[in-house]
Each structure stands twice: as structure tokens, then as C-alpha cells.
Amino acid sequence: MLNLVAIEPRSFPEYEAAVSDAGGSLSKVSKDVRALIWTDYSQPKALAELLDSNPQIEWVQLPFAGVDAFSAVINRDVRFTSAKGSYREPVAEHALALSLALMRAIPERVRATSWGKSFAVSLFDASVLIYGGGGITEELVNLLAPFRAKITVLRKRPQHMVGVNSVLASTELLSELPKADLVVVTAALTSETSRVFNRQAFEAMKPSAYLVNIARGPLVHTGDLIDALSSGELAGAAVDVTDPEPLPEGHPLWQAKNILITPHTADTREMVVRLFSDRIRENVHAFFGGEALVGQVSAELGY
């Protein structure tokens, strides 16, 4: 049997079942343990200390799609896998829901107490720019297919993507923003993408364009977003992630014009436990059989 240890196993009995189903056994940390499932996003330092004291550990599985909090830990001689791709369906679904809500002025209408003006923007035949090219983007492209959207994807390493009109380098952001009716942020948070959506980016966007962020809060400069919404540089924005997060009560973003905020609910715990259990089962089986692990993290790329 393959020895594994999962932090907080009592909180996630489904993970223990996934390990067992894949032919492994859940154990306490010991010198026999070769693989680790780490579930605490808030303690990367504790993970580093555990790995330093257990050099026999060969593989660490993280339950998060983004591993920005662990950037200082993954740069070592241990294989790290994330949950990237695991939550692609519910997150893409949420991105589509937020996009439609914005373009149909739902944030305004849910607060309305009078009939108001007649306004809506259709997603059919719209120009959509997606910043990021991972699994969430692939799933969102599938969801956008019925709308005949003209889709451009910006990613670090451009390559052909099914259903996409154009795939360009991420560095083309400022030149592509003026063409988009809808901009969706799906990229990983790295030193290159931090606050890439800032005043310069918002000034490049059409006043009629909408922004949706379901990636990480710090990809967007919060103060600049508030200013852009207040000045009319953007028609509206929807964010499932914020900077800071959780967004404090009374924060100016809550009162920004045409803003829709959801509390990081693109993937809920119920969704994550089920989908991450599938990833654990798949990777334990692969590790035990000497096969390639799914979702391996690149220390160079940071995701």
C-alpha cells in the first residue's frame, strides 16, 4: 500500500475514501510517508517546515487551482500538483452567469424600486477577450459556443485552442482590450499578472465593455477598478474574487457603480470536495503506478 497523509482528515472523510479507492492508505506523518495531501491554504510556512523535516516526501497534492500562496514552497525538489482543471466546470458556469447578469443590467435591476430605463446588451456575436488559457477558459469557450461569440484568448504560451478565433500572447493585452465587449479574467496569479488590470488597462477598454474576474483578486487593482466604474470608463464589472479578500464591510468597492460581487462562490465547498476527491483518486493511482501526475505545478511558471 502507498502511504499518504492528509491534513484535517476528519474534516474531509471523502478524501480518505478517495485515497483508499485508489489503492493507498491514509497515515500519520512518518518516515514511511512518501506523499502528502495538504489542505490548509493559510499555512504555506508550516508546509515548508514539514517538508524540511521529512525529506523522503516525493509528492504534495494541493486542493487549490491557484498556488500563488505556495510560490516559496514549490521551488524545491518535490513534485507538486494542484487542482487546476478540477473545478473548471462550475467556475466557467459562474463566469457565464456573471457575464449575462452584467450585460442584462441585473445588478441595477435587483436594487430598483421603479420601472427604469429599457437596457440590455446581448452576448450573441459579442467580442469576448479571455485573459488566461487554462481549463476554465477551455470550458468557458464551450459554454460560449451557442452565442456565436468572437473569442480571443491571451495566454503566456499561445497555442491553438478549439472554438477560439485567435490565441495571442498575454503581452498583447493593451492592444486587444479596445476590441472587447466582454473581458473575462481566468489567469493564475503570478508576479507577471499581479494587478495587470489597472488604470492603463481600464483606459484601454471601451466604455461599453464589461469585466468579469473569477481568477484571483490581485489580478485587478481594486482602487483603479473603483475609479474606472465611477468615471464611466467601464460599463460594469463582476468579481467573484477581491483584493482584499474577504472584502470588508464598508469597503468602497461595495458601493462602486455597476458592480456585482459574489463571495468566492464559483466553486463551493460541496463542489470542491467532490471534484477534488476525483483528483486525489486519479493522482494516487498514478503515483502508485508510476504514471504521470495530473495538474503538476511548474516552479518556473508558478502554476
Residues with catalytic function: 216, 245, 264
Whole-number Å distance between alpha carbons of 185 and 98: 12
CA-to-CA separations, 80 to 19, 35, 58, in angstroms, rounded: 17, 10, 9
Q: Look at phi and psi of residue 42 and say left if phi exceeds 0, alpha if psi is from -120 to 50, else beta.
A: alpha
CA-to-CA separations, 183 to 17, 118, 210, in angstroms, rounded: 40, 24, 6
What pairs with residue 154 in β-bridges?
131, 168
Sheet hosting strand 150-155, strand order edge to edge: 166-169, 150-155, 127-131, 182-185, 210-213, 236-239, 259-261
Whole-number Å distance between alpha carbons of 135 and 147: 20
